Every structure is written in C-alpha cells, then in structure tokens.
Structure 1
Amino acid sequence: MTKMLASVNGGEEAEIALSGGADIIDLKDPTAGALGAVATDVIRQTVKVVAGRQPVSAVAGDLPMQPDVILAKAQEIAATGVDYVKVGFFPSDDAAACADALAPLAGKTKLIGVLFADLEPDLGLLPVLARRGFHGAMLDTAKKDGRRLLNHIPPEHLPSFVERCRSHGLAVGLAGSLEAPDIPRLLPLAPDFLGFRGALCDQSRRTNRIELEAVRQIRELIPAEQPVGRAASVDYRLLAARGYSPGAADPALGTDKIFVRDFVLPVQIGAYSFEHGHTQKVRFDVVADVLRVTHAPEDMRHVFSYDIIMDGIRTIIARGHVQLSEALAEQVAALVLEDPRVMQVKVRVEKLELGPGGVGVEIERKRASEQAHVLRPHGTASAETLFPGRGQKGSSS
C-alpha cells in the first residue's frame, strides 16, 4: 500500500498531521529550501511528541556534495532517534562518493536518497545507493516555484523510475509540490509513499501552517492500510473515489460520462513498412461511463479524473510500435476498464496522415458482469525510460 508522508516543521504540526491520518511524519523547514533541515533539538522534541505512533523522517538539508559534510549532518540527525534520514543528491561528480561515505551509517539507520526531477537526476545513482545499503530513493523537486513533479517528468516515464528502484531493492517515494489531482495519477504506479507539504497548508502555500482539513482530504484520496486482523468499517463511496469499487453501488446515483476528445499525439503505428521508423499523428476520443459516488461532487475524492485516461494513452504509446489501430484501441479500452468504477468505454483511434481524411477504428467495451463485483485497486502500466531521447516518440498502432 502507498503511504502518505506529511512534511511538518515541528511537534505542533506533527500533531495535526497525525490527527489527519498521515502515515509518515517528515521533518523539514520549508522556509530553508527544498530539503531545509530543522534544528536537531526540534527533531528530538518531535520524536517525543510522535512517541512511536508513526515513523518519523527528517531531511539533512540542502547540503553541498561533500562527503564529510553530508556524513556529519546525517549522523547528527540519525542520533535524534528518527526512523529515516533523507539525504539530497544534487548533480555533482562527487555524488557517488557521498553515497560511499554514508555506507556505514546506512547499516544502522534507514537512509533515503533524494533525487531532483527538475535537475536532471542521475538514475545511475540508484544501484550505487542500493550497494551502499540505502533503504530507498525518491524523486522531489528542488525549485519550489509552483511547478510540480509531473511538470518535469511526464507521467508515462515515471514507471521507469519506480521499476528501477524496485529492481535494486529500494523503497520508492514520489514528491514535488504534489496536489490532490496528482494522487489518482500516481497511485497506479504503487510507490511506497507520496510526499506532501504545500497541499496540506493554508492557501496551499508550503511556508504556511498545515491545516487539519487539508491533511484529511489528502488522506482520503490514499487508501489506508488496514491493521491485520481488524474488521474495518469501510466507506465504499470513498473507496470508489480512491480507485476501488464496491460490489453493489447505489443504483440511484447512476453514472457520469467522462470524456477525452480530440487528443492528438505522435504515435509509432501501422502495418505497412513505410509506417515503421517514424511517428504519425493519431487522434483519440474516449468516453467512459463511470459510477457516481455522490450526488454533490466537491473535490477529487468524488470524481474519476480524465487525467487517468490521458496518462494511460501516453503510457501505452511510450512502449513502442503498434501494428494495428484495432490493437491500440483495445489496449486503451482495457486500461480504462481496469478502474472498477468504469462500467463501459468507447474508444476511437483515428490516423490523420494517410489521406485527405481520417481513418481508424471505434470500439465499445463493457465491464464483464462478474468483474463488477470485485473490490480491487486499478493496475499499472510502464515505460522504459525516464528521460527518453528526442527521437523516441512513443508507441501505438
């Protein structure tokens, strides 16, 4: 299950985050940069306030990539009793040396290496972190300028980062000015945790105080792990809003039609030899009949995001060449139907460059009746590279 990490500046905000249901209490000073460190006495005091109710992490600060400096600060923070120490790895020829220096500490404290999506992260560091005993790695943003993780890395390329972390035995986290609409787009990747600060704060400003209601809204978008052996009281409407579906929805609520129209992308598609080795424009039109979860939708907890459809199409075409428009349409329909809220989907795939008009296929697929009674999370798709070359345009048929 994906956990919710809430960044706080001390014990008072930690209590708010705990009350709102955060899984990990993360200490940082938002006024001092992306990974601004709070004072060690504040970390110790917060560890006492949390008192083991949830794990506590703390950032080491925006430090220069100097092995002795990095090690000294990480040791200082580890001595406060936190469960995790987050260390930023900024672009530097000495980044691997810093990881080497931290190896002895990694044997005693869970270390998380933080890479920055807006600073051309070196994914070659992932096997280095794994060899040096790091517990995990995460993507964040270094510049808090209003741009989010998904502004820097397209969603169809994030699966590559998650899969590479997993292949090296690293826990994986995603953060970077994330907002509520980002959650349904990132949950299918199944990261170990999603990190939040600004979305939890008054007016969504990361330097403001976090607010209980904002924490709760983010919490309700991330399915909580149920204690073993405990029969939970399940709010199926909230589960549906988070990507799950109850066996029997209230028929009075009916369905909504969520659509993506005139969505044109460059696609590697076609059975003819002249269609191989380059892309052509393809237009997608998708209409999904989605179970409603409330008569009065107010926020992301109550809707099926059309971003999921667009992200899914991008992910599919990022896989490589597809021979047939029919095959591409089937893949898109299957991906949309992975979400149990979707009862029916119509997909139109239209090539735009084979003549004076468009050619293609339109299909309509319904959820099998036996599948409508399954309660499960929707699945994932993957891409091969995080930062593909300019000439790599995607996949399709």
Structure 2
Amino acid sequence: MARMLASVTGLDEAQIALRGGADIIDLKDPADGALGALSPEIVHEVVNAVGGRTPVSAVCGNLPMDAAAVRRAAETYAATGADFIKIGFLPEVDARSAVEAVADLSGRVKLVAVLFADLDPHLDLLPVLAANNFHAVMLDTARKGSGGLLRHFGPDRVAAFVGRAREAGLKVGLAGALEAPDIPRLLPFEPDFLGFRTALCAGGRSGAISEEAVRRIRSLIPKEGQVNGSAQADLRLLARGYTPGGDEASRSTDRIFVHDFVLPVEIGAYSFERGRTQKVRFDVDADVMRVTDNPQDMGDVVSYDLIMDGIRTIVARGHLDLVETLAEQIASHLLAVPRIVRVTVRVEKLEVAPGRVGVEIVRSRSARTGS
C-alpha cells in the first residue's frame, strides 16, 4: 500500500493536509530548492500539534556532501521529535562517509535518504544506505521546474530503482513534481509512499496548499484493504465508483488502446539476433470496466500510459527468444489491473523479413481466474 506524503510549510498547512487525508506530513521550505529546511522550532511545533495522529517527517536542508555538516543537521532535526528525517545525497564520491556519519541516529529517528533522478543518482549507494541503518530511500528531482520524475526516470528505470531498493531491504518513496496522471503509472511499482507538493498547491509549489487538491490526490491512491487477513492495497480503487464484487463480466466496458508503438527490443531465438536490438511494433487493445458515463478525472479511467509503461518495463528486463513470450508477459501485466477484463496483444518484428512477422493473442480475466 502506498501512503500519501504531503510537503507543507508549517502548522497551518499541516492541518489542511491532515483534513485532506494525507498519511505523512513532511516539513520543508519549497522556496529554498529541493530540500530547503524549515527552522527546528517550526518542526517541533508541528510535531507537538499532530504527532500521534500521523507521522511527521522533516528535511535537513540542501547540504554539502560533507560528513560533519550532514551529521550536525541530522542531529538537529532528530531532536525535534520528527518520526522521519530526510537527507539528500548528491552523486559525489564522498557520499558514503556522509551516510556512515549518521548511522547511529537510527535508534532515535527513521532515516530517509533522498536521491535525485535528474542528477544521475548512484544506485550503488543503496546497499550502503541499508548497511547503515537507513529506513527508506526516496527518488525525487533536484531542479524544480525541469519536469517531473517520469520525465527524468522512465518507467523502466523506476522499476529497476524500486527493485534494487527492495533487494537492499529499504522502503521506497517516489516524488518529484508528481501530478494526478502520474499516480496510476507509479502505483504498479508498489512504492511505500508517494510525495506531493506542487499538485497540492494553487499557483505552483510555492503557493498555498488547498484542501480540495489534497483530497483529489488522496482519492487516487488506494487505501489499505484487508484480504485474507493480510493488509494490501486494492488496486480496483484506482477507479472511483468501482464496487468490488458482483458480476464483473456483465459490466459495460470501454476500450483503450495503443497502436503502432515501436521500440528497439532484444528479441529472437537465432544467434544473429542476440546482442542487438531490432524494431518491434506493438498494438494493444484493452477492454476496461466502465465506472461512470461521465468521466471527469484520472479516478474515472484507466490510462493508456499503463500499457506503454508496461511494455517499456518488460522490454527493459533483457533478451527474450520469442514474440509469443513477450506478448504473454504484456497480457499478464495488464490483466493484473482489476478493471481490465480482456486484452488483445499484437507483437510484430519489423526487420527480419520483407514484411512483418509476429503474433496476436487474446486473453481475458475470466479465462485466467476460472470465473
């Protein structure tokens, strides 16, 4: 289950974010770059006011990669009573020493490392963070105004980042000028939290937070559900108005599609097809359960971005021998979205014959579930 982190500038905005349903209150100064810090006094005030109702995090500032400076700032904000402190790590050679300098603070506060998607982050730092008692790692953007997270880190790279962080034993957060359409694209990677500021404000990230905007973003993130006694996200709630249960096969459907989507792919069973890419065309149609006849926002639809993101992520995993395998993996990926009930996937290799060769498959939820 992904939790919603809302970045706020003080107690007034913290209260607004709480009323809107935010799960984590994050304190920062948006006028001072990516990780501008508020005063320890403001952080302490918010902790005293909302602590116990919801977790509070605080950034430690835009710090140089100097171990002593990082240690001083971390100690200062750990003393505020915040549940989490966020420390930004630039891709510099001495980042390891800065990580090691704060390891012993983990007994007092949960440490969250922030890496920056637009600064070519060193993912080799992930096991170092885990070895030094960091609780989580967050992927954000440093240059605000240069585009959101997915502009700098495509879905395939986000998937790889989340996978490597999980392998290291770290919780994972994603942020960076996220907007409503980004939410359904990022949820399939199962982050532990999604961070927002710009999408919650009128007039950009330096504007004031709106309770209505907080509620709108929160409504797009599934809440925790109980299934077979264990907690997990119900991805059906990606669509507001979807009612779990009942005869899903009888529901009206719409069709979303991606056609003529061409990517370089490492594919083929012949030796000459290994170690190189070739152009492959994808045509995918997905029948989606309709939840309203008057769609107004991302909560009412299934985005075609899920199709393209899924294809990119699967292709990025490496060489496949068969177009049939690729088509089956795409179908399985899409049918994992509960509102998608049927898919048609066509995969065509464009460079091995004068014409086009490939496969088309049709798969449905009822055939896979036996319902």
Interval of TM-score (by shorter of Structure 1 and Structure 2):
over 0.9
Change (3 A) 1:186 1:127: same
- The answer as to whether partners of 2:288 and 2:340 remain within 8 angstroms in 1 is yes
Tell me how far apart the structure 1 counterparts of residues 321 and 368 of structure 2 sit (CA, whole Å): 31
Root-mean-square deviation (Å): 2.4
Letter in 2 for 1:347: V
Tell me how far apart the structure 2 counterparts of residues 49 and 20 of structure 1 sit (CA, whole Å): 16
Letter in 2 for 1:94: D
Matched, 1:75 2:105: no
Tell me how far apart the structure 2 counterparts of residues 136 and 14 of structure 1 sit (CA, whole Å): 22
Summarize deviations over 1:136-184 as a string: whole Å, max 9, x none: 1111110002411111111112222212222222111111111111111
Tell me how far apart the structure 2 counterparts of residues 118 and 218 of structure 1 sit (CA, whole Å): 24
Tell me, what secondary structure is at the counterpart of 2:162?
helix
TM-score of the superposed pair, with normalisation by structure 1: 0.87
Matched, 1:222 2:242: no
Tell me, what secondary structure is at the counterpart of 1:180?
coil
Tell me how far apart the structure 1 counterparts of residues 320 and 43 of structure 2 sit (CA, whole Å): 53
Tell me how far apart the structure 2 counterparts of residues 76 and 121 of structure 1 sit (CA, whole Å): 26
Letter in 1 for 2:12: E
For 1:142-291, list aligned pairs within 5 A.
Answer: 142-203=142-203, 205-225=204-224, 239-241=237-239, 246-248=244-246, 254-291=252-289
Change (3 A) 1:240 1:40: closer
Change (3 A) 1:211 1:330: same
Letter in 2 for 1:10: G
Matched, 1:305 2:313: no
Tell me how far apart the structure 2 counterparts of residues 156 and 237 of structure 1 sit (CA, whole Å): 20
Change (3 A) 1:47 1:249: farther
* Offset at residue 256 of structure 1 (A): 0.7
* Offset at residue 260 of structure 1 (A): 0.2
> Which blocks of at least 5 consecutive residues in structure 2 are unaligned?
none
Matched, 1:354 2:338: no
> Which blocks of at least 5 consecutive residues in structure 1 are unaligned?
231-235, 374-397
TM-score of the superposed pair, with normalisation by structure 2: 0.93
For 1:115-126, list aligned pairs within 5 A.
Answer: 115-126=115-126
Q: Which residue matches 1:318? A: 316
Matched, 1:48 2:48: yes
Change (3 A) 1:237 1:158: closer
* Offset at residue 17 of structure 1 (A): 0.6
Tell me how far apart the structure 2 counterparts of residues 243 and 308 of structure 1 sit (CA, whole Å): 20
For 1:15-164, list aligned pairs within 5 A.
Answer: 15-164=15-164
* Offset at residue 252 of structure 1 (A): 8.4
Tell me how far apart the structure 1 counterparts of residues 181 and 15 of structure 2 sit (CA, whole Å): 25
Letter in 1 for 2:38: V
- The answer as to whether partners of 1:25 and 1:54 remain within 8 angstroms in 2 is yes
Tell me, what secondary structure is at the counterpart of 1:30?
coil
Summarize deviations over 1:255-282 as a string: whole Å, max 9, x none: 1110001000011112222222211111
Letter in 1 for 2:32: A
Tell me how far apart the structure 2 counterparts of residues 277 and 148 of structure 1 sit (CA, whole Å): 33
* Offset at residue 11 of structure 1 (A): 0.5
* Offset at residue 245 of structure 1 (A): 6.9
Tell me how far apart the structure 2 counterparts of residues 322 and 12 of structure 1 sit (CA, whole Å): 54
* Offset at residue 294 of structure 1 (A): 1.1
Summarize deviations over 1:86-134 as a string: whole Å, max 9, x none: 0011122221111111122123211111111111111121122112211
Q: Which residue matches 1:390? A: none
Tell me how far apart the structure 2 counterparts of residues 221 and 354 of structure 1 sit (CA, whole Å): 43
Change (3 A) 1:221 1:249: farther
* Offset at residue 369 of structure 1 (A): 6.0
Letter in 1 for 2:351: E
- The answer as to whether partners of 1:244 and 1:339 remain within 8 angstroms in 2 is no
Q: Which residue matches 1:363? A: 361
Tell me how far apart the structure 2 counterparts of residues 267 and 244 of structure 1 sit (CA, whole Å): 36
What is the number of equivalent residue pairs in this alignment? Answer: 367
User: Between the two proteins, what is the percent identity of the paired residues?
Assistant: 59
Tell me, what secondary structure is at the counterpart of 2:224?
coil
Letter in 2 for 1:137: V
Tell me, what secondary structure is at the counterpart of 1:187?
helix
